[in-house]
Structure 1
């Protein structure tokens, strides 16, 4: 037993020494990648801004969106499937290149309903620029000395002149080379050059779009350097004090539309060197404890296998077959067919036309809530109009059917 304890202490000492060496090496390396990750403490992450936003938007809800706008805004719109109606300000800092055309369409619909979009990135998506009749260009600086790499960021409004700032390590400035829309307003510019406009306000239907072309000013490095945070305050002062939807660096594509708030994420903790090695040490000690205490204290008890349920195995085989082939259309059609057949059999209701009259009759006969039935029937009718199906559609349909039977 003493020999075992000696081995354990030697392993612990080796782990602590290794973690110390790795920790020293890690602290000497600075990662200057522009990630715009709200959980990153690196120079060009945006964790500082992310933590301060709830204070800047006082008494307002703050929601972090882990889904694409096409999923989240569509689901959380009137008469759709989300848990609320999205209203307020949708904020995107960097990383806008992931946006597809359908994401831009949903963002524009969001603004049309009287809401606000704030997007700060070097080059916004082409679909958005084309829709707003805007063009973006840039000025590249050839010689890079410590002085040349500094770029001024200025506001047009006189009341914000004391919030003008600068950024360093800059090799180019992006600006709006064309914006020919009615009532478009320039709000700021770069290099103290009024021709290099990098911040504009765009009225769009009942809402407003703010486009900004220097996302680096929102990063940890710049917010914490000197009084550069004042410029960020000036930019955000244009936004209305309403519910804020922050577009997360992390995106999930395998959960229901309504589940937009992240439940937990160990990855951020694993980025912290101290916590990571404490976690590894705990796992290793647990493994050593199991190894040194693996001696049995009683006779081996023979395991008697229960009779196998071949019916369950058959069902699993068939379901795995459909799952492996990814035939979502077939599964969706079968689930709809079986559901409507059960409705006809249990409640003696004609299912050939799924309209409001059908919803009222089914609610009356089944005793289920009309809202639950309406969501299910609307989703079935919507699915029947689609030509292409995905796993998410199947999961959503199954969720609605289960809600119908559970209430």
Structure 2
């Protein structure tokens, strides 16, 4: 047998043996991190809750929102460039700390237009609390258990408790005459943790125990019935679910750090299989480094004139119909020119940015607003057509005209 093959087989067998030994001897620990990720099967992910939503809201669409509320709801409004007008229930469980003032304002606008906003977290953005005249405080829980109760007698049978909780939150201040108490904690009616707040033509529901919606609690005993009770207050309409995963570009922040490979690398067997594949590939390259191929003839490169190069690149994009790539490049180049020419930061393309750009560039504010709003709308889309590219080019040319 070939020496090279024998060596590779011996090393492969050794690595496989080590991987199997480590897999059986390793102590499998449970990750109790509170991620509230709708794709996570860990105890404090919310994949079970997310998958059950279509059953709780019959015949309604479930739309995961991978963008900030400011970008998504502005684009999908009467004044935006979206493919529909957003109407229904917006659900956010945990992770509300990423919301900035512009997001909060857009969520309140959405609710005020006759829609429903439901948020469950230990606390909420300061702007939201100030706008609704609310205060939140935290108390220590006894025996790491928090008891959750409803005020309505018809659903008191759905009361439950949450374990593994060192503390609990409650509303220390709210407008009793305008805000309706729906739930409380630890059998104390003064410790309100679930409120119904009328807001213009819509309704805001705020809940202070996001753990109730996690995999661990929904699958334990009959605690899922509490979640059914909470959601029974929401109308049977389209569900907009605030996803843990956010698709940001360099102008809005970093995207989710974990890659698609991260889950596999957390599994010992898959991890060693991956490393083994890399190792065998490396060994194959090393042992086959001897010159076996014929001498590669020298081919004179094509003359790279400026016009020829531009034509080649243009034809490449035209043939592949890669509209997304062209749109991304045009947006990147346009914002880079704004930063260099007008010394403006471009992380947040909001109303304040539009005003500053109009003032510094001397351009008509309406023209600037149309260009920036169209860019914001494009960032909410996953599929692009030639019409989108042409319209973007038209907006940019109008800005520079």
TM beyond 0.5: yes
Residue in 1 that maps onto 2:247: 252
Residue in 1 that maps onto 2:169: 174
Residue in 2 that maps onto 1:191: 186
Residue in 1 that maps onto 2:203: 208
Residue in 1 that maps onto 2:100: 100
Matches within 5 A, 1:6-405: 6-24=6-24, 28-141=28-141, 148-180=143-175, 182-254=177-249, 265-288=260-283, 298-311=293-306, 326-328=336-338, 380-383=368-371, 400-403=388-391
Aligned counterparts of 1:378 and 1:18: Cα–Cα separation in 2: 66
Aligned counterparts of 1:290 and 1:74: Cα–Cα separation in 2: 53
Q: Structure 1 residues 286 and 244 mapped into 2: Cα distance closer, same or farther (>3 Å)?
A: farther
Range that drifts further, 82-91 or 22-31? 22-31
* Offset, 1:111: 0.8
Q: Structure 1 residues 233 and 98 mapped into 2: Cα distance closer, same or farther (>3 Å)?
A: same
Aligned counterparts of 2:26 and 2:64: Cα–Cα separation in 1: 30
Aligned partners of 2:180 and 2:195 also within 8 Å: yes
Superposition RMSD in Å: 4.0
Aligned partners of 1:133 and 1:181 also within 8 Å: no
TM normalised by structure 2 equals 0.74
User: How many residue pairs end up in the alignment?
Assistant: 345
Aligned counterparts of 1:384 and 1:226: Cα–Cα separation in 2: 51
What do residues 322-342 of structure 1 show as CA deviations (whole Å, max 9, x unaligned)? 96993335689xxxxxxxxxx
Aligned counterparts of 1:173 and 1:76: Cα–Cα separation in 2: 36
Range that drifts further, 266-275 or 214-223? 266-275
Q: Structure 1 residues 405 and 63 mapped into 2: Cα distance closer, same or farther (>3 Å)?
A: same
* Offset, 1:55: 2.4
What do residues 317-360 of structure 1 show as CA deviations (whole Å, max 9, x unaligned)? xx99x96993335689xxxxxxxxxxxxxxxxxxxx99xxxxxx
What do residues 359-401 of structure 1 show as CA deviations (whole Å, max 9, x unaligned)? xxxxxxxxxxxxxxxxxx977543489xxx9x979xx9x9844
Aligned counterparts of 2:272 and 2:7: Cα–Cα separation in 1: 19
* Offset, 1:58: 2.4
Q: Structure 1 residues 77 and 29 mapped into 2: Cα distance closer, same or farther (>3 Å)?
A: same
List gaps (5 residues or longer) in structure 1: 258-263, 333-352, 355-376
What SS class does the counterpart of residue 51 from structure 1 fall into? Answer: helix
What do residues 200-232 of structure 1 show as CA deviations (whole Å, max 9, x unaligned)? 111111111110000111112111211111111
Q: Structure 1 residues 105 and 300 mapped into 2: Cα distance closer, same or farther (>3 Å)?
A: same
Q: Structure 1 residues 154 and 404 mapped into 2: Cα distance closer, same or farther (>3 Å)?
A: closer
Aligned partners of 1:217 and 1:223 also within 8 Å: yes
What do residues 32-74 of structure 1 show as CA deviations (whole Å, max 9, x unaligned)? 2211122222221212212222222222111111111111111
What SS class does the counterpart of residue 14 from structure 1 fall into? Answer: helix
Aligned counterparts of 1:56 and 1:270: Cα–Cα separation in 2: 35
